[in-house]
A and B are shown apart, each in its own frame.
Chain A
Amino acid sequence: MQADIKRVSPAGTLLVTAVLALLSMLAFMTLGAKGSWAFILSFRGTKLAGMILVAYAIAVSTILFQTISGNRILTPSIIGFDAMYALLQTVMVFALGAAGANAVDPRLQFVIETAAMVGFSVLLFRALFSGATGSLHLLMLVGIILGGLFRSLSSFLQRILDPNEFVVLQDRLFASFNTVNADLLGISAVAVAAVTFVLWRLFPTFDVLSLGRESAIGLGVDHHRTVTILLVLIAVLVSVSTALVGPVTFFGLLVASLAWQITPTASHRFVLPIAVCLAIVTLVGGQVILERLFAFNTALSIVIEFVGGLVFIFLLVRGSAR
């Protein structure tokens, strides 16, 4: 009874984060605007749309990955997703040459990358994770080792690559929010919309899945099927975010942990949208700080990891004191 009074309502938390997200979007679009509004709106609008897609993809994929794995410190990247992306890029530049790789339609590239990542994840997860004997630790170990293998393969290929082509490759491998790939915005939006549609259908199962495999089956959820579908969707979301801006590792963990911490309930109805809002605040807000405060003199990931890391530690310390 007493605990009831102190508790913040989840809807209140969602409202606050949503307002913050809107404010950071507004700041991004208007701060320091000089010259033609038509140009500014379309130029910044493209970037903003890209960042929102990435924020959504990373927040949702991380939260859902944590839900199905029953573990709050995992992100899809631990299983070697980033390394796989780097390997795909490297192999492409290696096989086709820099000019050839740049000549390939980015949309075709996106489809191939997504298909490869989905295939990889389904293979890995089906073999190790969803069976009755499936062990999370085994999955993680195999994922980490495969990630290592991908990384070594890429660095081997990079070493025997022509230096000029290597520069082109390096440019592709750095996560950058300044050069959101505009060609891919359309197809990414379609992919994200399709994923969201399926997620919407599965939505009621998320809370049940967070009870663990046995309880979920006991309550009538087809665990094997649902988890496999979710893993495919997560792979698509990770592909979208990496294809748009490149690999971003820490960000998902940060946003998901913050969302679990500040949401007063474990219900996905609130945690998911709050995580998405937080991701938008961090990405878009971080980009504003980067552009206006540091005049592009640093990388967004540094801003995010510095500020986000501090907030995270603060929440942890406060949480343990509570």
Chain B
Amino acid sequence: MIEIRDVTKSYGSNAVVDRVSMTLPTGGLTSIIGPNGAGKSTLLSIVSRLMPMDGGQVLVDGLDVSHTAGEVLARRLSIMRQDNHITARLSVRDLVAFGRYPYSKGRLTAGDVEHIERSIAYVGLKVFEHRFLDELSGGQRQRAFIAMVLCQDTDYMLFDEPLNNLDMKHAVETMKLLRRLADDFAKTVVVVLHDINFASAYSDRIVAMRDGRLAFEGTPKDMIEPSRLQAIFDVDCRVHAVGDTRLVNYFE
């Protein structure tokens, strides 16, 4: 369980995350939605201790992220960020192998190698495993970074807009993969998403943020409502039920 208590982060007098409190239960897939600048990515960075908070507390399984040793947290929680710029020239396999660092400190065991192989195969990059990252397309690179997170094999996995740069096929495959992590491996998956329909179709819970605050939270059924979406995004939209899934038409 991830408990977020009164977390605040400001730049000058501008609070980008403003006294947010919420609990992300163990298991399942939670999507964080909201307009640009709502503080979604900042919140994710704070939870994953990449960014210090100005006030409040984040507990992961009862461990305070501000005071727990980095290597302990790295075995419980992993994050994939939006912009992954790396100066080093790495092959896909090199990159994915870094996911084992919290366990092996650079000396790979047979078990680590197995994890690496499995993660690469899982995201479908087996053919490209010896390619350098700068020789891959944006979507392939994205999947390589997802494979690195898989390889880290933590209970909590955070993804900051993992569908960026992905075409329809790979976006769906990625979301299915994240769904499988939650269903088959009992991982707790938290995803920042921009496409409201992906959030609707694949989440167990949706958390909406606006202006640095927690706006609403609930199941897709509760959340995908014209009035709520209007309140979150300021966009008029219609919601259609297709089978069990609610789809949002915001194009008209």
B233 at the interface (CB under 8 A from A): no
Given A204-B105, A218-B50, A220-B75: A1 touches B130 (CB 8 Å cut-off): yes
Q: Which of A54-62, A94-102, A205-213 contacts B (4 or more CB under 8 A)?
A: A205-213
Which positions 46-80 of chain B face chain A at CB distance < 8 Å?
48-52, 69-75, 78-79
Q: How far is B240's CA from A257's CA once the two chains are assembled, in angstroms?
A: 58
Which positions 88-107 of chain B face chain A at CB distance < 8 Å?
88-90, 94, 98-99, 101-102, 105-107
Q: How far is B97's CA from A208's CA once the two chains are assembled, in angstroms?
A: 11
Residues of B near A204 (CB, < 8 A) are 101, 105-107
A38 at the interface (CB under 8 A from B): no
A273 at the interface (CB under 8 A from B): no
Number of interface residues of B (CB under 8 A): 34
Residues of B near A222 (CB, < 8 A) are 69-70
Q: How far is B51's CA from A211's CA once the two chains are assembled, in angstroms?
A: 17
Q: Is the interface of B mostly helix, strand, loop or mixed?
A: loop
Given A214-B50, A218-B78, A222-B70: A207 touches B98 (CB 8 Å cut-off): yes
Residues of B near A220 (CB, < 8 A) are 69-75, 101-102
Contact of B70 (CB < 8 Å), options: A70, A221, A266, A267 = A221
A4 touches B87 (CB 8 A): no
Residues of B near A215 (CB, < 8 A) are 81, 84, 86, 98
Contact of B130 (CB < 8 Å), options: A4, A71, A219, A221 = A4
B130 touches A218 (CB 8 A): no
Residue-wise, chain A 180-215 has the 8 Å CB interface mask toward B (1 for contact) of 000000000000000000000001100110111111
Residues of B near A208 (CB, < 8 A) are 98, 101, 106
B128 to chain A, nearest CB (A): 10
B131 at the interface (CB under 8 A from A): yes
Residue-wise, chain A 108-136 has the 8 Å CB interface mask toward B (1 for contact) of 00000000000000000000000010000
B98 touches A71 (CB 8 A): no
A3 to chain B, nearest CB (A): 6
B169 at the interface (CB under 8 A from A): no
Q: How far is B117's CA from A25's CA once the two chains are assembled, in angstroms?
A: 44
Nearest A residue to B129, CB-CB: A1
Q: How far is B203's CA from A175's CA once the two chains are assembled, in angstroms?
A: 65
B8 at the interface (CB under 8 A from A): no
A217 at the interface (CB under 8 A from B): yes
Nearest A residue to B83, CB-CB: A214
B89 touches A3 (CB 8 A): no
A219 touches B87 (CB 8 A): no
Interface Cβ pair total, 8 Å cutoff? 75
Q: How far is B135's CA from A3's CA once the two chains are assembled, in angstroms?
A: 11
Q: How far is B106's CA from A207's CA once the two chains are assembled, in angstroms?
A: 9
Residues of B near A266 (CB, < 8 A) are 88-90, 94
B145 to chain A, nearest CB (A): 9
* Chain A residues touching B, range: 20 to 34
A210 touches B86 (CB 8 A): yes
Q: How far is B73's CA from A222's CA once the two chains are assembled, in angstroms?
A: 11
Residues of B near A4 (CB, < 8 A) are 130
Contact of B131 (CB < 8 Å), options: A3, A71, A212, A219 = A3
B74 touches A219 (CB 8 A): yes
Nearest A residue to B101, CB-CB: A219
Q: How far is B66's CA from A222's CA once the two chains are assembled, in angstroms?
A: 12
Residues of B near A71 (CB, < 8 A) are 87
Contact of A217 (CB < 8 Å), options: B49, B72, B87 = B49
A44 to chain B, nearest CB (A): 39
Q: How far is B165's CA from A77's CA once the two chains are assembled, in angstroms?
A: 39
B188 at the interface (CB under 8 A from A): no
B79 touches A212 (CB 8 A): no
Residues of B near A292 (CB, < 8 A) are none
B81 touches A214 (CB 8 A): yes
Nearest B residue to A265, CB-CB: B94
B52 touches A132 (CB 8 A): yes
Q: How far is B72's CA from A132's CA once the two chains are assembled, in angstroms?
A: 21
B88 touches A210 (CB 8 A): yes
Residues of A near B87 (CB, < 8 A) are 70-72, 210, 212
Contact of B74 (CB < 8 Å), options: A132, A210, A218, A265 = A218
B39 to chain A, nearest CB (A): 16
Binding site for A on B (CB under 8 A): 45, 48-52, 69-75, 78-79, 81, 84-90, 94, 98-99, 101-102, 105-107, 130-131, 152
**Apart from the given pairs A71-B87, A217-B70, A219-B101, 9 other A-B contacts in the complex at a CB distance below 8 Å:** A70-B87, A208-B106, A210-B87, A214-B45, A215-B98, A218-B74, A219-B74, A222-B69, A266-B94
**Could you show 13 A-B contacts with beta carbons less than 8 Å apart?**
A204-B101, A207-B98, A207-B106, A208-B98, A208-B106, A210-B88, A212-B84, A212-B85, A215-B81, A215-B84, A218-B81, A219-B152, A267-B94
Binding site for B on A (CB under 8 A): 1, 3-4, 70-72, 132, 203-204, 207-208, 210-215, 217-222, 265-267
Sorted nearest first, the 7 A-B pairs with minimum C-beta distance are A220-B74, A220-B71, A266-B88, A204-B106, A210-B88, A220-B70, A220-B102
